[in-house]
Amino acid sequence: MRRWKPVIATTAGLALAAGLLTTTAPAATADDAGAEAYTWKNAQIGGGGFVPGFVFNRSEPDLLYARTDIGGAYRWNEPAQEWVPLLDSIGWDDWGYTGVASIASDPVDPDRVYAAVGTYTNDWDPKNGAVLRSSDRGDTWQHTELPFKLGGNMPGRGMGERLVVDPNDNDVLYLGAPSGEGLWRSTDAGVTWSEVTSFPNPGDYVLNPDDPSGYESDIIGVVWVTFDPATGSPGSPTQTLYAGVADLAESVYRSTDGGATWAPVPGQPTGYLPHKGVLDEQTGDLYIATADNPGPYAGTDGEVWRLDTATGQWTDVSPVPAGGDRVFGFSGLTVDRQNPGTVMVTGYSSWWPDTQIFRSTDSGDSWTAAWSWGNYPERTKRYTMDVSSVPWLTFGENPQPPEETPKLGWMTEGMEIDPFDPDRLLYGTGATVYGTTQLTRWDRNQTFTIRPFVKGIEETAVLDLISPPSGAPLLSGLGDIGGFRHTDLTQVPSMMFRQPSFGTTTSLDYAELAPNIVVRVGNHVGEGTDPLIGFSTDNGAHWWAGSSPGGATGGTVAAAADGSRFVWSPENTGVHYAVGFGNSWSASQGIPQGARVEADRVDPSRFYGFHAGTFYVSTDGGATFTASAAQGLPATGEVRFAAVPGRTGDIWLAGGGLWRSTDGGASFTRIGSLDADNIGFGAPAPGASYQALYSSGVVNGVRGIYRSTDTGATWTRINDDQHQWAWTGDAITGDPRVYGRVYLSTNGRGVIYGDTA
């Protein structure tokens, strides 16, 4: 559930000095001279991940930003009706910066935008968090590293916003920190930061203090800051601010002297966590949406409160009263800036039968709901769903009423009404961005249409890729949503892999000599029951389930060159092989559990494995493996290898370096100057007979995506510093039919493909 984490060894600094996030590419070396220009695009999927927050600029129409938990930040392009990715320049060592904990658009100078970045507060992310700042709407960035971590993919990531710009003095910013680090302030437009030492409560709530990983045992912290702009004047800091803290006893604080001193707001509600705090500036009402869990998944109760900031009176305006059908918490809080007193909130943690959205036009005194119960199990809905642009959002399911597909959503923590257009509403779910441009029909009891507004946001974690020599050019293995068969890279596929259905595909392979035969394995997300291996004989268009040896899950899988047998190395049991389509599995001998397996691309009887520095070879279809005598292969770290199509026993192994075997793994030779993360093959260059090689790696100290057309003797960098996509280590493959085309994996930016310009 959105917890993908690459394992990269880096060193985190503690300085608060400002510096460039990206720089001009280093001068070309002998190896990377003559790099071709490449165009880079996403294979279209149409979302796929959690979008926890949106920020509209308050002074310029149609200027809108979105943040994701692992996939970076985006700016809306109104004419094109699509999102523009803003953090593709983030490099390998800074991969954690693709988790965006908060984003802020400057209401005084719309060209300025800020992002608080960092993916995990535990040791999964070795670096501290940072605040990125841009003066060109996110096209380029500078950054200041913080002396603590931020958690764009941690519990509570849908709360906020933690990062805000003072609407009167835009050199002043505030940042609510996790991990007990309190409240921080910048007075020089985000260049330097210091702790607001007078802030009295950094929060004490943790989701699960017994979690040994640190993922659920960190303090959620200060989660939002809200200004009252009427208490300042242009050029002078706003005097009255409110802050929300993850604390069940005292969660709402106020300063009336520009942040110099703070005190809890008298009479405030207790017992819940304040997910959102939004001020209706015209009415003077501060709304608080709360839950008993930081989210974004869980929550069984919560309340919505209104504070009359003039009188200090608190009023419980919860859309569902206590003791009723309230089995969820509240979030997704927003107000209509054109119509004072209009407020909306979500029941973000309502999973069954659907999420819920509430709307009030009288400051919360009364509410209407997006749907209500009819004659059970029927539901009466104010909306219709149109997912024709992203048809897989039905998930291919046919649920029993009252559940429906597509759902209105889940994990609906980010929701905003356009401050310039009361008819436009956007909200995020765990899989997409939904919205409408007909919102005020709600108030006239007219049906309005909700549809995806997700074009350009490709937020999937890519675990494996294959490009067969015939049929579809690309099949992908993805986290959370399984994977897709792309017959057209520019079109959103109609459906993810189904029958069997499992949320995460960890590995897939095709038979080189019979490419219509495809196999995939993976893990369930949630409570799935389908077998965790699937087979296809029509190039992945249709699938059926195989059997699993001993409850096997995940791992890697390999198909014999002719598709006659398969070898599966699950993550939780030993290596197994099957003759035919997995109806019966037998344990392979001579190879350890956890080995990575691949197939020879010519000889159906040959399979290969690798584990902890030792290469293994099978010549009897995976029944038995023998350890190779090859020496000098990497014993630790991430190691991936692949066999070359059309050449028996030609194997390339990547893992901090690059090695090649031409004798079926009996011996390996270190190749060239590339410190490779992975290896893939594509159509040969014009006039060449050997496949083009592709790899994510480092040549002469320069990290990039590299191509070789001379069997690895020299390598040309084909990406640039504006196209780095952070983590690209899992999978890479060329296209066997199109010279120069390469497909590469990312950890949150979907499937990237490049073509020579």
- C-alpha pair distances (Å), 384 with each of 334, 397, 412, 436: 22, 18, 17, 10
Choice among 480, 603, 730, 735 that is catalytic: 480
Q: What is the pLDDT of residue 21?
A: 35
Residue of 371, 367, 448 lying closest to 409 (CA atoms): 371
Q: What is the DSSP letter of 271?
A: S
Q: The tokens of 143 are what? A: 């950054």
pLDDT (0 to 100) of residue 5: 44
pLDDT at 53: 98
- Which residue, 237, 337, 325, is CA-closest to 279? 337
Query: Residue 551: its pLDDT value, please?
Result: 87
């096209």: which residue's tokens?
139
Could you give the CA distance from residue 136 to residue 729 in angstroms, rounded to a whole number?
A: 30
Q: Which residues of the chain have pLDDT under 50?
A: 1-34
Who contacts 226 (Cβ-Cβ below 8 Å, separation ≥6)? 164, 241, 242, 243, 244, 277, 278, 279, 286
Q: How many other CB atoms are there within 10 angstroms of residue 391's CB atom?
A: 15
Is 292 annotated as catalytic?
no
Identify residue 725 by its one-letter amino acid code.
W
444 φ, ψ (degrees, to nearest 5): -105, 10
pLDDT of amino acid 672: 84
Q: What is the pLDDT of residues 180-227, one digit of tens each?
A: 999 999 999 999 999 999 999 999 999 999 999 999 999 999 999 999
Radius of gyration of the chain (CA): 27
Contact between 643 and 615 under an 8 Å Cβ cutoff? The reply is: no
pLDDT of residue 325: 85
Eight-state DSSP code of residue 529 = -
* 62 contacts 76 by C-beta, under 8 angstroms: yes
Tell me whether strands 64-67 and 113-117 are parallel, antiparallel or unpaired. unpaired
Segment 501-552, tens digit of pLDDT? 999 999 999 999 999 999 999 999 988 899 999 999 999 999 999 999 988 9
Told to judge if 69 belongs to the known catalytic residues of this protein, a careful annotator would answer yes
CATH code linked to domain 70-229+240-264 = 2.130.10.10
* Residue in 496, 486, 556 with CA at minimum distance from that of residue 520: 556
Please give the torsion angle defined by the CA atoms of residues 336, 340, 342 and 345, in that order, rounded to the nearest 10 degrees. Answer: 60
Q: Find residue 658's DSSP bridge partners.
A: 654
**Single-letter residue type at 414:** G
Q: What confidence score (pLDDT) does residue 731 get?
A: 98
Instruction: Give the CA-trace dihedral at 661, 664, 665, 668, to 10 degrees.
Output: -20
* Domain positions in the chain: 70-229+240-264
Query: Which one is catalytic: 69, 94, 280, 464?
Result: 69
